[in-house]
Chain A
Amino acid sequence: MTAVTAETAAASTYQARFDAAVAADERIEPRDWMPDDYRATLIRQMAQHAHSEIIGMQPEANWITRAPSLRRKAILMAKVQDEAGHGLYLYSATETLGASRDELLDKLHSGRQKYSSIFNYPTLTWADVGAIGWLVDGAAITNQVPLCRCSYGPYARAMVRVCKEESFHQRQGYELLLALSQGTQAQHEMAQDAVNRWWWPSLMMFGPPDDASAHSAQSMAWKIKRHSNDELRQRFVDICVPQAEALGLTLPDPDLRWNEERGHHDFGAIDWEEFRQVLKGNGPCNEQRITQRRRAHEEGAWVREAAAAYAAKSASGGSGAPHESAASEGSGTKSGEAQVEATA
């Protein structure tokens, strides 16, 4: 037997073992053999998920310095901190596939990898912070809960942790909107206006319709994805309708109504042209978001170089004693959620 055929035979044994593991709902772990395309798909999806956490800090951080009460300010700071933390776990999980964080950030900064289209919309009023919590985090959770059972172990485990914190943020966003909705007339109007602006972009977070979704079938076969885009979108609409009623707010869709026969809500057509434009970089904030991210990275270059130079000197016994890294999550770091609860 030549070396080439031996290799082919080995590869097909590996492939069979992989297929059997996926079929049996076993977890694929970093040291396991996996098809190249599976690895590449996961790197793309997980990196874009991490990027979304990082870019997603911007629209909310936009309101930290203007939050109208100290309690709300603490909640918002904690949330933005949690998002940075989620970005960190997701980059770590992606690194188990052989990618490096620097390389992934470089792809984000150069536009070769994307982030969720939703973060290209602006936060124009305080109520947008609540609408993001309720709708955007709500849509993210609907998407991410099934990922807790994803076939790739490190991703599934990261999702368990992320989903817990996201659910907490979503409840806080809902509660923020409720306070506005039940507040003064001006506050109520602010809440309704925010929901009007965030509803359709939130529905777009589930991605293109099933018949136009390029990666869906393969991702479902690999059990990276468990449900189709349209299935998840429908689930989200069905969850939101009664919540909007409880909030005393309306959803901006004249075609939205209960369909007895299907046992689901029918809803109006999504503006897929707008979605395509946002994905292509022509949304309201695409330019601004990526520019800020790049600027933070470029302006921080001297800081990272200093840390590397100092670490090298310390390691070689030069000036400065070696120290525990305070740059990594320090001993005093706890989740933002825990911090706000502790001070509430």
Chain B
Amino acid sequence: MTAALALGDDALVLSHRLGEWAGHAPVLEEEVALANIALDLLGQARTLLSLVGDEDELAYLREERAFRNLQLVEQPNGDFAHTIARQLYFSTYQRLLYGQLAAGDGELTGLAAKAVKEVAYHQDHAEQWTLRLGDGTAESHERMQRACDALWRFTGEMFQPVEGLDVDREALRSAWLESVTTVLKRATLTVPDTADTGAWSAGAGRQGLHTESFGRMLAEMQHLHRSHPGASW
């Protein structure tokens, strides 16, 4: 069941990154919002990973080559603009993907139907902040543009084939590009025209090929669980 593992890993890893914001957000309302999104994603991850096996074994006892998440979601938080650009790219993808899955009748239909409501909120949150930062001050505009440019090369991976994921990838790609383009333009930002393939080749994260910071993230996430083999928590 590679599709559930891939989507579960996306949600797990992005949730972890958002969890790193706790206590560091620019306003209290964002402490609440980012934690809220992180919790939604963690809930999705638990449901998806449980379709594959034991959620904790999968989260805590796999090494980085066995993780199937996109490289996009493992990217470090950076500044608030980086976090928002990552959220914009990913939540737009997730909403379109879950929209398609919810309309089908596969194993992921039920989960997608529930999660699509959550990810609509995540997408709205990311879009609103993209507008504020892009069309806010000169500094915020510059930071937001830099973040959109820097993360662009990780977006192509989202449209690579995933085993067991029955979606119209071409429709997904064009709808994603249209949605992101509309928001970036409204935010007075430029859509990057650089290549959209990541550190390895197309689909790298889905093949277990990750970027360097990911190993360190897993070391932190897994160390306590691994220090007490067989313990229950």
Contact = CB atoms under 8 A, between A and B. Distances in A.
A119 to B, nearest CB: 11
A45 to B, nearest CB: 19
Q: Which of A58, A180, A303, A304 has the most CB of B within 10 A?
A: A303
Interface stretch (A71-79, A249-257, A271-279): A71-79
B35 A70 contact: no
Given A296-B24, A310-B132, A343-B43, A126 B32 contact: no
Given A326-B128, A343-B43, A58 B33 contact: no
B29 A305 contact: no
B14 to A, nearest CB: 13
A300 B55 CA distance: 35
B193 interface: no
Contacts of B22: 57, 61, 64, 77, 80-81
A120 to B, nearest CB: 15
Interface string A292-315: 100111011111111111110100
A126 B224 contact: yes
B121 interface: yes
A244 to B, nearest CB: 21
Interface string B1-45: 000000000001000100110111111111111011011101101
B23 A87 contact: no
A343 B139 contact: no
A68 interface: yes
A49 B79 CA distance: 29
Interface in A301-341: 301-311, 313, 319-321, 323-334, 336, 339-340
Interface in A219-263: none
Contacts of A301: 26
Given A77-B42, A292-B23, A332 B132 contact: no
Interface residues of A, number: 70
Contacts of B118: 332
A64 B33 contact: no
A186 B231 CA distance: 10
A68 B221 CA distance: 8
A68 B118 CA distance: 25
Nearest to A328: B29
A343 B25 contact: no
Contact of B24 (A183, A292, A325): A292
A339 B39 CA distance: 7
A251 to B, nearest CB: 23
Q: Which of A72, A310, A329, A340 has the most CB of B within 10 A?
A: A310
Contact of A81 (B39, B223, B225): B39
A306 B55 CA distance: 40
Interface in A163-208: 176, 179-180, 183-184, 186-187
A69 B25 contact: no
Contacts of A180: 233
Contacts of A296: 23-26
A85 interface: yes
A68 B228 CA distance: 9
A294 to B, nearest CB: 11
B35 A77 contact: yes
B36 A333 contact: yes
Given A74-B39, A77-B39, A326-B129, A68 B225 contact: yes
A78 B186 CA distance: 34
B201 interface: no
Interface of B: 12, 16, 19-20, 22-33, 35-36, 38-40, 42-43, 45-47, 49, 55-56, 59-60, 79-80, 117-118, 120-122, 124-125, 127-129, 131-133, 135-137, 139-140, 143, 186-188, 220-221, 223-225, 228, 230-233
Given A58-B23, A70-B49, A343-B42, 6 more contacts: A68-B231, A126-B224, A179-B233, A187-B231, A313-B135, A342-B43
What 6 pairs between A and B have smallest CB-CB spacing?
A300-B26, A306-B136, A332-B121, A343-B43, A306-B140, A326-B128
